[in-house]
Amino acid sequence: MALRTEELMLNMGPQHPSTHGVLRLVVTLDGENIVDVQPDIGYLHSSVEKMMEYRTYVQNVALTDRGMDYLVALNNEEAYCLAVETLAGIEVPERARYIRVLFNELNRIASHLVWLGTWGIDLGATTVFLYCFREREMILDLFEKVTGGRLHHVYYRVGGVYADFPEGWVEECTGFLDYFLPRVDEYHQLLTANPIFLARTRGVGVMSRQGAIAMGASGPVGRASGVAQDIRKVAPYEVYDRFEFDVPVETEGDCYARYLVRMEEMRQSVRIIRQALRGLPGGEIRARVPMTMKAPRGEVYVRTESPRGDLGMFLVSDGGETPYRVKIRAPSFSNLYALTEMMKGWKIADVIAILGSIDIVLSDVDR
C-alpha cells in the first residue's frame, strides 16, 4: 500500500535573494517534487507605458532606460528610437547606425555576464561571479567614457546618437575585445568542466520545441529549445544584415543548453563589434530632429533582439508631441511563463537553477 501524501503550497519570494528581483513563486509540492509553479508578478510595476503618454518623444528615451529592462538600457533605447524613426520616417546617418549596433552588442555581453555571474552564485560557484563582474566593469567603463552613464545612458536619440567617441576609445574597445575572448574560455574551464555544475544543469528543466513556441519563449531560451529565430537575422534592423555572425541553436532545451547558447552569443557579439569597428564610416552621427518633434498620425510595431529575446515596441501617434499609446512586448514576460512548463516534475532544489537559467529581469516583466 502506498503512503498517502499531501500537497504543500510554498511561497517563494517576493523577498528572496535567488528570485533575481521581486518575484513571488507559488510552488505546489508533493514531498520535494514540484507539482506546479505559478509565478506571481506585479511587485515592480512602474507603469512605464502610461508614463510615456505624458512625455514627449525626446523625453521618453530617459524612461525606456529604467522603466524597462534596466540591465540592457541601450537595447531598450534602440527599440524605442527605431519605432519613432520608423513612424516619423527619419533617416538615421550611417555612422550612428554602426555605433548603435556596436553598443547594442556591448550591452548584450554585459547583460550575459551579469546573468552568468548571478547564475553561478545560484549554483554555488562564487568565483565565476567575481570574474564576470570584473569584465562587466570594463564594459561599463567603456560606456561611461562615451555616454556619461554606466547603466542608464540616455545615449540614443531619435535620429541618431548623442555624442561621438572620445579620442582613443576605439583602440580601448579593441583592447577589451582582445582581453575578453580568452576570458570566455576561462568561464568554460570553471563551469563546463565541472561535474557538479553539469549534474545540476544537464537535462534539468527541459522545455520542448513545441512548448517553447506555445509559450512564446524567444531569445536564448527559445533558441536553446531549437527555435532558430533571431530578429537580427530574420528581420534585420539597423545594419545587422551587413555583418557576418552565427546564431547559436541547441536542441536539448535544458539549463545547460541555455547556458551554451548564451556563452556562444557572447563570442558572436565580439565578432559583430569587431566588424562594426572595422567598417565604421565617418560623417554625421545625428539627423536634424527638433527637440519638440511631432510624429505623424499612425501606428508602428518594431521588433528588436534584446539579450533576453524578442523586444517589441508598439507606438500609436495621434499627431501630437507625445505618443498616444505605447505597448511594450517584453521578452522576459513570455520567457517567465515558460517556467511552469520547465519546472513540473523536478525537485525543489532545481527551482533556483531553472529560474536562473531563464535570465529574467523583473522590471522587464512588470514594466
Partner 1 sequence: MSLVGRVIRAAAALGIGLSVTLRTMFRHKVTVKYPVERLPVSHRFHGLLALPIDPETGNDRCIICFKCERICPDRCIHIEAEGKGKERVLSRFDIEMDKCCYCGLCVEVCPTEAIVFVPHYETSTYHRGRLLYALDDLHAAAPKEPVATGIIKRRRA
- CA distances to 10, 299, 360 from 348, rounded to whole Å, are 10, 45, 19
- CA distances to 181, 270, 272 from 174, rounded to whole Å, are 11, 10, 12
Helix pair angle (94-122, 73-88), 10° resolution: 150
55: contact with partner 1 by CB under 8 A = yes
CA 42 – CA 192 distance, rounded (Å):
35
What is the pattern of x (binds partner 1, CB under 8 A) and - over residues 84-113? ------------------------------
Burial class of residue 292 in the structure, from the number of CB atoms within 10 Å of its CB (0-12 exposed, 13-18 middle, 19+ buried): exposed
Stretch that binds partner 1, among 104-112, 189-197, 263-271, 273-281 (CB under 8 A): 189-197
344: contact with partner 1 by CB under 8 A = no
In sequence order, what DSSP letters do the residues of 169-182 get, joined into one string?
HHHHHHHHHHHHHH
Q: Which of 47, 134, 210, 234 binds partner 1 (CB under 8 A)?
A: 134
Q: Which of 19, 60, 304, 306 binds partner 1 (CB under 8 A)?
A: 60
166: contact with partner 1 by CB under 8 A = yes
CA 311 – CA 235 distance, rounded (Å):
13
322: contact with partner 1 by CB under 8 A = no
- CA distances to 121, 132, 320 from 197, rounded to whole Å, are 11, 17, 54
Burial class of residue 181 in the structure, from the number of CB atoms within 10 Å of its CB (0-12 exposed, 13-18 middle, 19+ buried): middle
CA 356 – CA 119 distance, rounded (Å):
5
291: contact with partner 1 by CB under 8 A = yes
DSSP H or E run through 355: helix 350-358
Q: Which is nearer to partner 1, 29 or 289 (CB)?
A: 289
> Rounded to the nearest whole angstrom, what is the least distance from the CB of residue 48 to partner 1 in the complex?
12
Which residues from 239-258 bind partner 1, rule CB under 8 A?
A: none
Stretch that binds partner 1, among 139-147, 204-212, 319-327, 346-354 (CB under 8 A): 139-147
> Rounded to the nearest whole angstrom, what is the least distance from the CB of residue 271 to partner 1 in the complex?
24
What is the pattern of x (binds partner 1, CB under 8 A) and - over residues 7-26? --------------------
63: contact with partner 1 by CB under 8 A = yes
Q: Which of 37, 102, 146, 206 binds partner 1 (CB under 8 A)?
A: 146
Q: How many residues bind partner 1 (CB under 8 A)?
A: 34
131: contact with partner 1 by CB under 8 A = yes
Count of other CB atoms within 10 angstroms of residue 116:
27
Residues that bind partner 1 (CB under 8 A): 55, 58-63, 65-66, 127, 131, 134, 137, 141, 144-149, 152, 154, 162-164, 166, 186, 189-190, 193-195, 286, 291
